[in-house]
Amino acid sequence: MVKNYYFKGISLIEILVIFAGLGLLVAIVMPQFYNIRKNQVLKSAVGDVLSTVNKARSRTLASMNSSTYGVHFQSDKVIIFKGTIFSALDVNNETINIFSPASITNVTLGGVSDVVGDLYFNRVFGTPSTTGTVTISTGSSSKTLTINQSGNISSN
């Protein structure tokens, strides 16, 4: 008589092969998710800066509260301020935060390059006090926003 030994179940080797396959899949996919996230954060930061500058220009052209509005750039935020001179203590300031890993790495306005800078708009024509560029980076990738003489802002 021949005995048929048929065991049901999963062996240790099969479990190890499954975990090795899953580990390899995770190792390939995770860096791609990180890059996608970084690109989304960069796009979001660029959109926030574009809309902030346009909002300050629109408020100025509308003569909201009979005032001029400007934008103050810092590495981790953009601030809309009232008037032609930025004051960090003004309660009317509107702060828009730039979330990590994105940050403003360079502000070049009127030929002066720094990490911070101010820009305000002419009440009658909406033209900026100065022209230049603002660079937003996430480490390996960056976008440059250009503010032209008419007050329009564009991204590369």
Helix (H/G/I), strand (E/B), else coil: 112? strand
pTM comes to 0.79
Could you tell me the two tokens for 109?
A: 């306005």
pLDDT in tens for each of the 156 residues of the chain?
566 666 677 788 889 999 999 999 988 888 888 888 898 999 999 999 999 999 999 999 998 888 899 999 999 999 999 988 899 999 999 999 999 899 999 999 887 776 677 888 888 888 898 899 999 999 889 999 999 998 888 888
Looking up tokens 């990738």 gives 141
HSE of 40, CA atoms in CB hemisphere, 13 A = 6
Q: Are strands 112-114 and 117-120 parallel, antiparallel or unpaired?
A: unpaired
Domains with residue ranges and CATH for the chain: 12-155 (3.55.40.10)
Dihedral sign, Cα of residue 75, residue 53, residue 153, residue 155: positive
